Structure 1
Amino acid sequence: MADVRPFRGIRYAPTVVSDVGQVLCPPFDVISPEAQERYYARHPYNMIRLELGRELPDDTVLNNRYTRAARTFAEWRKEGVLRQDTVPSYYLYQQRFSYGGQSYTRTGLVARVRLEPWSARVVLPHELTLSKPKDDRLQLMRACAANFSPIMAWYEDPQARLRRLLQPYAERAEVQARDELADEHRLQPITDPQQVALIQDFFSQRQLFIADGHHRYETALSYREEIRELHHGLDPEDGANFVMMVLIDVDDPGLLVLPTHRLLAGLSAEQLQRLTPEHLGRYFQVERLEGEAGRGAALMVRLAEAGQTAPSFALLTSEGSWLLRLTEAGQARMAESGRAPAWNALDVAIAHQLLLEELLGLSAEDVRAGRYLRYTHETEEALAALPRGEAQAVLLLNPTPVRQICEVARADERMPQKSTYLYPKLASGLVIHPLW
């Protein structure tokens, strides 16, 4: 099963960067141009300069954001801004954060994980990937030979063995920093040989589920093949065989998966007519939500309650708010999809298959290209889109349970795009994984 190793991480020197919170940034795929500028201004050593550097008008093949990242990385190591740990370590990584008025603690283990092809069924995916972000990350890996941001992966630990082992390290964490959102990040190296052996043995019996970072994983596979071809072979212990991950128990109480709501626009009058009880009743039990029940927090509570008994959605149009519950007819139609039962049971798959594609007539290419859809995991933004005229219809979803995501991965299926949003993202800048 999974080959999970300690490694000699590269970290900010505390004598140079006393407040690590000032130099952290999110992973590349959630950084807007405005946020990029904010991180540049936040600190001269902010990880943004490596993770997602600026593009300049006069960029060339020899001088671009990837080559500048490589130069900066080398300079920071030479100047002592970044230092490599002397002893191979696992790193306890804990995030303490708030969402929706509730406090959470998410505990993970930073490690280097041997790359395996999807076909080996050691590391399991649940998403399809796109070529553009993979090309971007591959160019950065070629230039810098390092992982600046970790992949998030899950593992199963029904007896909570590893969670009990990790907990004491969080209380005495060497690094305790707060980011710009006031979320706390704790990092503690684990070097004790006995503990290291226990951790490595634990994972040798486990599969891993990619939670966030499919593009980075596939990029790492491509990078490994490039290095193998370049050197006409590759030693099994070469760093290019590994990628940095944060490994989290699927039952960790701090795992927070947010729903990704669908905002529909550009629909014809004929398509909008299909979003009425007469047509929706083909596959769903339709309940009109009147007054407060069809608004705000009360609506989301009602949706969550309905989701306990059947796949459910809330549909908002100019005609009103509707609660949709999948019927036996809808289940039978999903069973004809040719997909695994785990996929057919997904709220988001049902929404795409029965509502978007079958009732509205949107093609898979329409969905991929975003011709009629945009997405948000912010419920308030979704609820405001209709009165603002930013959407003709809003489809609100419940979050996908972690266990259900794992079952889809086990079935070797891929969820529809924008199915999950893991909150918060893992920080870039706590540990760098060298590919040597």
Structure 2
Amino acid sequence: MADIRGFRGFRYDLGSVGTLSDVVAPPYDVIDPALQQKLYDSSPYNAIRLELTRDEPGDDEQTNKYTRAGNTLREWVVENAVRQDTARGLYVYEQEYTVEGQTFVRRGFLARVRLEPFGSGKIYPHEQTMSGPKEDRLKLYRATGFNLSPIFGLYPDDGTVFAPLEQLIRSAPPIVARDHLGVINRLWVVTDSATISKVIGAMGPKPVYIADGHHRYETGLKYLEERRAAGEVADDEAAPNFCLMMLVGMSDPGLLILPTHRLVSGLAADLTAPQLEGVLAEHFDVLERTGTNAQAAWEHVLMDGSQSTFAFGTVADGLWTVAKLRDKDVMASLAPDQSEDWRELGVSILHKLVLDRLLRDKIGGTPVCKYVHLLSEVTDATAKKECQVACLVPPVGMGHVEQISEHGEKMPPKSTYFYPKLLTGLVFNSLKKD
């Protein structure tokens, strides 16, 4: 079983820093320069000054954005703007959000989870990682000695894990923050030891699947390795053995995986819909031509419900085509080392067959993707002719995440997008002390 603990988190003293909404921030990987500046302007205590500190002229190895983040956090702790809770607890975290007119509520709890190398226990990844983000986060871990933002973990559940927490939070008012996207974030601190024991016991032998935060998890393992080599990890209970993780049941009704659509550029020539059909004809059947109606094309993909149906928008003529893979056996020759489950993923089919083979061979060039999640983002981009072909990709489900993870495989990059992101600044976890 995954080793899950209550912990003494560090949290903002709202009497010192003001409203929680002014000091929280999204995780580093979704912050552009404009949002970074907006968060800087919102409060001198905003977590952006830790999570994604600005570069400054004259930065060097001794003075840089990482050292500034470390110094800032230490100053906040000294002046009691950030305080450590006196009792160990679990932190119930609820997010209320709206996507394309529908409102969802997702709930889970923040805990310390023991780090374990992938493949050695009950924690499974599902996506590939890149070296750049891991090096960036490692420098931040070294400078601050904290987990600033939580990893997002999922566990198979019938509701029994969260039930003991539900009873307590019904009668207690939460701390509330509304983020820049309008998501309402609520936090409760649960310190009742009997309740915490029930939650940990209910987790039993359940596995944990990493939904988001793969880079941070692998960084935690590297940081632990470094601290052990430096003689700073006294035993298995030392703080670097653990990471901050948000745990959400896979049956939670508010758990939503958004599709990640591709806006493709870099082709040697622009394509019309008839030309695209010619490119696809060897392996795909055209199911529908919806003219300029992207919404109708997307609805067809969703109604089909399979991983092998896609909608393609050709920007040169503004037309949409829905096509379905005719023979899945072609994927066995393109990805012989992957499992059948992996080969049947929509993102695998799109990249291995359509982008890397058909478009390269028949059109030429080097396909380059920009990734978006909402249909409105796709239609805005095609209207502005910001790509050559738009690809609407069927969303993966929780079953796909579980299957791929348990095979010991990783999905292609940008396969899943768990919305909304978990905020930075609700709870910080020390890697130095309990």
Q: Provide TM-score, normalisation by structure 1.
A: 0.92
The Cα of 1:343 is off from its aligned counterpart by 0.5
Give 2:302's aligned residue: 304
Distance across 1 between alignment mates of 2:282 and 2:167: 54
Distance across 1 between alignment mates of 2:345 and 2:142: 38
Structure 2: tracts of 5 or more residues without a match: none
The Cα of 1:273 is off from its aligned counterpart by 9.4
Give 1:53's aligned residue: 53
Question: Does residue 376 in structure 1 map to residue 355 in structure 2?
Answer: no
Aligned-partner SS, 1:360: helix
Give 2:178's aligned residue: 178
Give 1:348's aligned residue: 347
Quickly say closer, same or farther: Cα 1:153–1:95, change in 2 above 3 A: same
Corresponding residue pairs, total:
424
The equivalent position to 2:408 in structure 1, one of 398, 406, 412, is: 412
Equivalent AA in structure 2 for residue 390 of structure 1: E
Distance across 1 between alignment mates of 2:209 and 2:120: 13
Quickly say closer, same or farther: Cα 1:177–1:417, change in 2 above 3 A: same
The Cα of 1:232 is off from its aligned counterpart by 7.2
The Cα of 1:358 is off from its aligned counterpart by 2.0
Percent identity (aligned): 38
Quickly say closer, same or farther: Cα 1:344–1:274, change in 2 above 3 A: farther
Give 2:80's aligned residue: 80
1:96-143 C-alpha deviation (Å, 9 max, x unpaired): 111111111000110000000002141111111111111111111111
Q: Higher mean Cα deviation, 241-250 or 349-358? A: 349-358
Distance across 2 between alignment mates of 1:429 and 1:261: 30
Distance across 1 between alignment mates of 2:132 and 2:68: 20
The Cα of 1:233 is off from its aligned counterpart by 5.7
Give 2:310's aligned residue: 313
Quickly say closer, same or farther: Cα 1:170–1:184, change in 2 above 3 A: farther
Distance across 2 between alignment mates of 1:356 and 1:252: 35
Give 1:3's aligned residue: 3
Alignment of 1:10-409 (within 5 A): 10-157=10-157, 159-171=158-170, 172-231=172-231, 234-269=234-269, 276-291=276-291, 294-306=292-304, 308-309=305-306, 311-317=308-314, 318-319=316-317, 320-327=319-326, 329=327, 331-336=328-333, 337-338=335-336, 339-361=338-360, 372-409=368-405
Check whether the contact 1:274–1:360 (CA below 8 A) recurs between aligned residues. Answer: no
Aligned-partner SS, 2:161: helix
Distance across 2 between alignment mates of 1:66 and 1:263: 34
Equivalent AA in structure 1 for residue 295 of structure 2: A
The Cα of 1:416 is off from its aligned counterpart by 1.1
Check whether the contact 1:24–1:427 (CA below 8 A) recurs between aligned residues. Answer: yes
Equivalent AA in structure 2 for residue 165 of structure 1: P
Equivalent AA in structure 1 for residue 297 of structure 2: L
The Cα of 1:271 is off from its aligned counterpart by 8.2
Equivalent AA in structure 1 for residue 341 of structure 2: A
Aligned-partner SS, 1:91: strand
Aligned-partner SS, 2:225: helix
Quickly say closer, same or farther: Cα 1:285–1:163, change in 2 above 3 A: farther
What is the RMSD of the two structures over their aligned residues, measured on CA atoms?
Answer: 2.0
Q: Higher mean Cα deviation, 99-108 or 193-202? A: 193-202
Aligned-partner SS, 1:16: helix
The Cα of 1:278 is off from its aligned counterpart by 3.4
The Cα of 1:426 is off from its aligned counterpart by 0.2
Check whether the contact 2:284–2:324 (CA below 8 A) recurs between aligned residues. Answer: yes
Aligned-partner SS, 2:222: helix
